Amino acid sequence: MTNPFKDVLNSKVILLTGTNTTANHPIIANYIHEAVTKRGAKLIVADPRKIKLVDISEVWLRPRVGTNVAWINGLMHVIIRDNLQAQAYIDERTTGFDELKKCLAKYTPKYVADITGIPEKDLIAAARLYATAGPGSIFYAMGITQHTSGTNNVKSLASLAMLCGNIGIEGGGVNPLRGQNNVQGACDMGGLPNVFSGYQVVTSEDIRDKFAKAWNVAKLPDKVGMAVTDMGNAAGKTIKALYIMGENPVLSDPDSHHAAKGLASLDFMVVQDIFLTETAKLADVVLPSSCFAEKDGTFTNTERKVLRVRKALDAPGAALEDYRIIAAIAKRMGYPMEYSNSSAIMDEINALTPSYGGITYARLDKEDLVWPCPTKDHPGTPILHVGRFARGQGVFFSIEYQPSAELPDMDYPFVLTTGRVHWHYHTGTMSRKGTALNRMYPEALAEINEEDAKRLRVADGDYVNIVSRRGSIKVKAVVSNMTDRGVAFVPFHFYEVAVNQLTINALDPVSRIPEYKICAVRIEKAA
């Protein structure tokens, strides 16, 4: 996120897309609700589902699933056509504007309406509102990223924000909403195949030398590693052993039959987790780790704020903190990795990670800190790119709309999209252990549009079979106008109805994220 949560209270217009915010990020939804209902901000919702925040929106754009680049380009076309762009900001702080204008020329409201299904007048109203009512903030989540065009979707949103001068200011920004409590922190600490901590690239010899010296090894590899989605495809082929920590790919990976088959073909698999997940049941060795309340450390949340985690109780049985398990394995493999406690790890992070250089336990006990915070007297950086972009000039990318990997046809006429519900979390490893949450939402439900249900002769509560080219599931239907015609939504929390048996293993070429949000299915009333 470029801006903190509370900064949305300074926004005059808010664009929300690809996020069912009240269900998945309720605290942020509360801030958005306050900004609109108490402070007069105007809300634009761009989402194929009629999420709750549509009720307080000024404009609701309902694009066909997977057409994000087209409608974002449409907004920018109208803004430039009507000369509403922040030209002084563009001239001073960006490059690539002329190329962008050429690319956008064909994305007229009529052209975009034909692709997206968004009425021309709504597209024009949203464009004019975002461009003129600023400062404007953009919030997005996995409804934007989980596509083969996910990287392009994000770049397009960044271009829209720059076009109106909305980056580097209070009440502005482009703000991804992370799906788990420490996703941002895991990325910051090098949990990506191409970087060390702090996004220091593994291809730089100077950076590799710095880490090699600190870790007392002769040299470190210069090759970019595999993304997790590529590991799944390589399992049992080029990858013979896999160490899985805090992840449940048997339920969470796309085309999960294929994923499970790959895991089963490994020579050796280790799973380190707090519960015996569906993936752990396939492992050769399971290492019991401690949960968040049983260890010390930090989480870095979606607004880049580093939060202290303090041990509240002892872990059960033989369970250990993750770092102690990893360090013990490293020692047995011939590399002594000794840390007296989590504070010693933070000291290493401070020394090797410039953006975390000033974020110490002592300071976190007294104040909130947001990276980048390079020195112990630095106050942290709540808003990024103030005055100038971190890279110098901001770049406009000229991006053409590309259809999704698998579209509906005669045999599979519906679109399936997946996501979360308010009461459960990811693959249900933790949330489905709670009896109260299970009472609130006890089973998987397939949301089907009222008109589709009538045509299929499906009533609320009937069971349906949803079939893709990769598998089928039997699931109870809930009939409403939440989803658009031709679209079904199914949450992925339930092992009994593992919806990722149906999803396609098509990946974004840059981020390697799967296209969870759209695949072609047929729906039949179950016998």
Q: State the CATH number of the domain containing residue 437.
A: 2.40.40.20
For residues 92 and 214, membership in a common domain is answered with no
Asked if residue 335 belongs to a domain, the reply is yes
For residues 200 and 333, membership in a common domain is answered with yes
Report the alpha-carbon angle 436-18-244, nearest 5.
60
For residues 87 and 172, membership in a common domain is answered with yes
Asked if residue 339 belongs to a domain, the reply is yes
Asked if residue 368 belongs to a domain, the reply is yes
Asked if residue 293 belongs to a domain, the reply is no
Asked if residue 258 belongs to a domain, the reply is no
For residues 119 and 62, membership in a common domain is answered with yes
Asked if residue 18 belongs to a domain, the reply is yes
CA–CA separation, 219 vs 501, rounded Å?
42
Structural domains of the chain, count: 3
CA–CA separation, 128 vs 124, rounded Å?
6
Sheet hosting strand 268-273, strand order edge to edge: 241-245, 268-273, 285-288
Asked if residue 369 belongs to a domain, the reply is yes
Domain extent for 354 = 179-225+321-373
Q: How many CB atoms lie within 10 A of CB 240?
A: 13
For residues 465 and 441, membership in a common domain is answered with yes
For residues 204 and 159, membership in a common domain is answered with no
Asked if residue 427 belongs to a domain, the reply is yes
Q: State the CATH number of the domain containing residue 369.
A: 3.40.50.740
For residues 349 and 420, membership in a common domain is answered with no
For residues 14 and 79, membership in a common domain is answered with yes
Tens-digit pLDDT string for the chain (527 aa): 999 999 999 999 999 999 999 999 999 999 999 999 999 999 999 999 999 999 999 999 999 999 999 999 999 999 999 999 999 999 999 999 999 999 999 999 999 999 999 999 999 999 999 999 989 999 999 999 999 999 999 999 999 999 999 999 999 999 999 878 889 999 999 999 999 999 999 999 999 999 999 999 999 999 999 998 889 889 889 999 999 998 998 888 888 888 888 899 999 999 999 999 999 999 999 999 999 999 999 999 999 999 999 999 999 999 999 999 999 999 999 999 999 999 999 999 999 999 999 999 999 999 999 999 999 999 999 999 999 998 899 999 999 999 999 999 999 999 999 988 888 888 888 888 888 988 988 899 999 999 999 999 999 999 999 999 999 999 999 999 999 999 999 998 888 898 989 999 999 899 999 999 999 999 999 98
- Chain centroid to CA 98: 31
For residues 508 and 459, membership in a common domain is answered with yes
Q: State the CATH number of the domain containing residue 140.
A: 3.40.228.10
For residues 116 and 155, membership in a common domain is answered with yes
Rg (CA), the chain: 24
For residues 19 and 59, membership in a common domain is answered with yes
For residues 84 and 149, membership in a common domain is answered with yes
Q: Are strands 369-370 and 445-449 parallel, antiparallel or unpaired?
A: unpaired
439 burial type by CB count under 10 A (0-12 exposed, 13-18 middle, 19+ buried): exposed
β partners of residue 523: 466
